């Protein structure tokens, strides 16, 4: 007698108990706090904050769910943890810390941790115009933030041409005996050697500050009045200088996208979903002027609605960056408490609104258009990168498409300060957060083979024991010798299954004539100079070389900056620090006379002579 199918089927494991939302919601409090959605294995699906925990968590279990993405998350909930906080602002901070540490799959994440740059005007007797990134303090005046470093540098360049403010470091400014090249090309008024009075320089600083605040019309009006006065006084040369400044400012005005005509600060935050991609674009308005855009592509945003993306961005971005007077959006954020959360952070009302005025509508329309352009550009880039990876797989005969590629290079100067670099390509682009440098020690100077062996061993020793991420392909910037020692290091670690090739520059060492070296002794492969796989290899190899060289230069500079002074009897850490602070570095110390060295506190005449002799 045959057994029934039920009798032969394997016993199913115990089903996860269904989440009893009704019972759980009855236990929730009306206080502010943070909640964590958990799956059957206890892993965190989502982290959120609430002004009212009971009201907010209950909204997830209504009959109508806001989006398919949220519906999927709710279907996987098997438990919820909550933490009550004393205030909504405290809940914001806790939520931010938990998201960073837990990386939950249903939180839309914006990797925008980098601080935004400012234009800085110091408060010295002759203020310095400078690029600044970081947290502003009270030691200077700051204008911005700007969406990109290039915008700040362009602004500084224009301000130099128009107002002739200094940009040199204080150590350089204090030790000039004649004006520099910037004075010669009319980019600086030469305050370092007294070619302009403090009063006249202060007037230029005031005009530059007004310009940075968006008061261009007022600046032009003042310059026009000064030009007319100079002309009436027959000071035609001075009038011509002022005329050139006015024309330069008018050209800058013409480059502004839209000027609202009012001195206002606002951020424009728009989200656009097209072609299966979602782009959030941030545009900054300062002093009524459009400063530029920054497109962002969030993580975990599949099937995400634009309103959800805007809510997530507002929640994450403004914990780290200044909050403007108002925020303009193309769709209202999905979080109804977004404005209240920002108000709690800013300690003032922060309107979040769709545009009503003409200038505001133009700003939002431009931001939307730029988001669409960014999506089109990203699609083209992803398509090209996919084609290059497929070409690389075919050229090397790899079993699978290489998703993660790591490349090594060695840099030194005649064996001094040897540094190895490892850069990572993954997800259709370079992953700079995963780059690593290795300071190579305990080898004979100039032994590139030993340096490469050490770098590869140190990189993959954890991978060999099951920790870290194993690449799909390893590139070695070098020929047969470097590839041989790198492969030997992999053999010792038991990782010979990882494909490896060397990138040799070829006989004439010309770009496009590279040879690919295989560790198994196969004949080197030379791809055509137009081959897409070769272009990808060159891009990764060049980035590895750049990263190694910059690390080596930093190490070499540090060694030379300290060791030369340390070798001089009588110059300890305190005096060395005083010398560097006074002259701005070893180059300034080497260029100083005995008399100037003796002016440094703690440096006697006898010691100054010893220092001078040691450096010449």
Cα 590 from Cα 579, distance rounded (Å) = 11
pLDDT, tens digit, 9 for 90 and up, residues 447-466 = 889 999 999 999 999 888 88
**% of residues, the chain, pLDDT over 90:** 25
**The overall pTM is greater than 0.75:** no
What local confidence, expressed as pLDDT, does residue 12 receive?
Answer: 40
Q: Which helix (H) or strand (E) holds 206?
A: helix 198-212
Adjacent-strand bridge partners of 282:
269, 294
Q: Which helix (H) or strand (E) holds 81?
A: strand 79-84
Cα 160 from Cα 149, distance rounded (Å) = 17
Check if the beta carbon of residue 486 is closer than 8 Å to that of residue 449: no
pLDDT, tens digit, 9 for 90 and up, residues 132-176 = 887 788 888 888 788 877 778 877 888 888 888 998 888 888 888
Residue 434 has pLDDT above 50, yes or no: yes
Residue 229 has pLDDT above 60, yes or no: yes
Structure tokens that stand for 155 in this block: 């602004």
Cα 576 from Cα 18, distance rounded (Å) = 69
Mean pLDDT of 468-488: 92
Mean pLDDT of 601-615: 84
pLDDT, tens digit, 9 for 90 and up, residues 531-565 = 999 999 999 999 999 998 888 777 766 655 555 67
Scan for tokens 């600060």, then name that residue: 265
Cis peptide before 411 (omega within 30 of 0): no
What local confidence, expressed as pLDDT, does residue 11 receive?
Answer: 41
Structure tokens that stand for 75 in this block: 């279907």
What local confidence, expressed as pLDDT, does residue 456 receive?
Answer: 94
Structure tokens that stand for 421 in this block: 């670099």
Q: Exposure string (b/e) for 222-235, b if CB count within 10 Å is 16 or more?
A: bbeebbeebeeeee
For 266-376, which CATH class?
alpha beta
Residue 13 has pLDDT above 60, yes or no: no
Cα 282 from Cα 368, distance rounded (Å) = 10
Scan for tokens 């004393």, then name that residue: 86
Check if the beta carbon of residue 117 is closer than 8 Å to that of residue 142: no
Question: Which of 2-6, 239-243, 390-394, 444-448 ranks highest by mean pLDDT?
Answer: 390-394
Give the three-class secondary structure for 425.
strand
What local confidence, expressed as pLDDT, does residue 271 receive?
Answer: 94
Q: What share of the chain is helix, strand, coil (3-state, %, to 5)?
A: 45, 20, 35
Residue 311 has pLDDT above 60, yes or no: yes
Is there a common fold for 266-376 and 404-556? Answer: yes
Say which CATH topology domain 404-556 has: Nucleotidyltransferase; domain 5 (3.30.420)
The sign of the dihedral angle between the CA atoms of 35, 38, 42, 47 is: negative
Say which CATH topology domain 21-102 has: GIY-YIG endonuclease (3.40.1440)
Cα 299 from Cα 610, distance rounded (Å) = 60
How confident is the prediction for the chain on average, in pLDDT? Answer: 83
What local confidence, expressed as pLDDT, does residue 257 receive?
Answer: 46
Contacts of 277 (CB under 8 A, 6+ apart): 297, 375, 378, 379
Q: Which helix (H) or strand (E) holds 120?
A: strand 117-122
Q: Determine whether domain 567-614 maps to CATH 1.20.1730.10.
A: no
* Phi-psi sector, 363: left (phi>0), alpha (psi -120 to 50), beta: alpha
Neighbours of 429 (CB within 10 A): 12
What local confidence, expressed as pLDDT, does residue 317 receive?
Answer: 87
pLDDT, tens digit, 9 for 90 and up, residues 194-208 = 899 999 899 889 888
Q: What are phi and psi of 83, to 5 degrees?
A: -130, 120
Mean pLDDT of 43-55: 90
Confidence of residue 1 (pLDDT cuts 50, 70, 90): very low
Residue 577 has pLDDT above 70, yes or no: yes
pLDDT, tens digit, 9 for 90 and up, residues 332-343 = 998 877 888 888
Residue-range domain boundaries for the chain: 21-102, 266-376, 404-556, 567-614
Instruction: Report which of 469, 479, 471, 492 is spatially closest to residue 398, judged by C-alpha positions.
Output: 471
Q: Please state whether beta strands 326-329 and 352-353 pair in parallel, antiparallel, or not at all (unpaired).
A: parallel
Give the three-class secondary structure for 396.
helix
């Amino acid at each position: 007698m045959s057994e029934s199918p039920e009798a032969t089927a394997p016993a199913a494991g115990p089903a996860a108990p269904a989440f009893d939302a009704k019972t759980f919601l009855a236990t929730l409090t009306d206080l502010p706090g943070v909640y964590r959605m958990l799956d059957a294995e206890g892993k965190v699906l989502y982290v959120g904050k609430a002004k009212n925990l009971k009201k907010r968590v209950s909204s997830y279990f209504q009959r109508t769910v806001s989006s398919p993405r949220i519906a999927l998350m709710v279907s996987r909930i098997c438990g919820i943890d909550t933490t009550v906080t004393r205030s909504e602002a405290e809940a914001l901070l806790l939520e931010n810390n938990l998201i960073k540490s837990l990386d939950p799959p249903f939180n839309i994440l914006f990797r925008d941790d980098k601080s935004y740059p400012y234009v800085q005007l110091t408060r010295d007797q002759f203020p310095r115009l400078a690029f600044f990134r970081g947290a502003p303090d009270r030691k200077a005046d700051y204008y911005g933030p700007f969406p990109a470093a290039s915008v700040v540098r362009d602004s500084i360049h224009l301000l130099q041409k128009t107002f002739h403010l200094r940009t040199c470091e204080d150590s350089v400014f204090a030790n000039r005996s004649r004006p520099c090249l910037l004075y010669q090309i009319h980019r600086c008024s030469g305050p370092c050697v007294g070619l302009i009075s403090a009063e006249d320089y202060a007037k230029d600083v005031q005009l530059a500050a007004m310009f940075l605040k968006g008061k261009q019309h007022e600046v032009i009006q003042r310059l026009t009045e000064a030009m007319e006065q100079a002309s009436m006084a027959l000071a035609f040369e001075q009038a011509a200088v002022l005329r050139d400044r006015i024309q330069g400012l008018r050209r800058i005005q013409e480059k502004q996208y839209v000027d609202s005509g009012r001195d206002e600060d606002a951020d424009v935050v728009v989200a656009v979903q097209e072609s299966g991609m979602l782009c959030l674009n941030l545009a900054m308005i300062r002093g009524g002027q459009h400063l530029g855009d920054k497109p962002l592509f969030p993580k975990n945003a599949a099937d995400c609605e634009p309103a959800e993306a805007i809510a997530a961005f507002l929640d994450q971005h403004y914990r780290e960056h200044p909050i403007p007077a108002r925020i303009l959006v193309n769709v209202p954020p999905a979080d109804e408490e977004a404005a209240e959360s920002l108000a709690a952070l800013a300690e003032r009302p922060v309107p979040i609104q769709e545009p009503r005025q003409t200038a505001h509508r133009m700003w939002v329309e431009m931001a939307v258009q730029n988001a669409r352009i960014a999506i089109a550009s990203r699609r083209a880039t992803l398509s090209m990168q996919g084609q290059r990876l497929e070409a690389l797989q075919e050229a090397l005969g790899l079993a699978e498409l290489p998703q993660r590629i790591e490349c090594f290079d060695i840099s030194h100067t005649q064996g001094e300060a040897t540094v190895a670099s490892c850069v990572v390509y993954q997800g259709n682009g370079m992953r700079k957060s995963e780059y690593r440098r290795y300071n190579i020690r305990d080898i004979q100077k100039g032994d590139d083979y030993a340096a490469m062996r050490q770098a590869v061993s140190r990189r993959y020793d954890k991978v060999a024991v099951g920790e870290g991420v194993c690449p799909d392909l390893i590139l070695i910037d070098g020929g047969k010798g470097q590839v041989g020692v790198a492969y030997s290091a992999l053999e010792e670690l038991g990782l010979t299954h990882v494909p490896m090739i060397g990138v040799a520059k070829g006989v004439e060492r010309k770009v496009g004539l590279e040879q690919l070296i295989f560790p198994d002794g196969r004949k080197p492969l030379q791809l055509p100079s137009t081959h897409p796989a070769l272009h990808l290899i060159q891009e990764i190899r060049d980035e590895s070389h750049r990263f190694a060289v910059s690390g080596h230069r930093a190490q070499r500079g540090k060694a030379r900056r300290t060791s030369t002074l340390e070798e001089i009897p009588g110059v300890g850490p305190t005096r060395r620090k005083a010398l560097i602070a006074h002259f701005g570095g070893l180059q300034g110390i080497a260029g100083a006379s005995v008399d100037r060295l003796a002016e440094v506190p703690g440096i006697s005449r006898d010691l100054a002579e010893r220092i001078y002799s040691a450096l010449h």
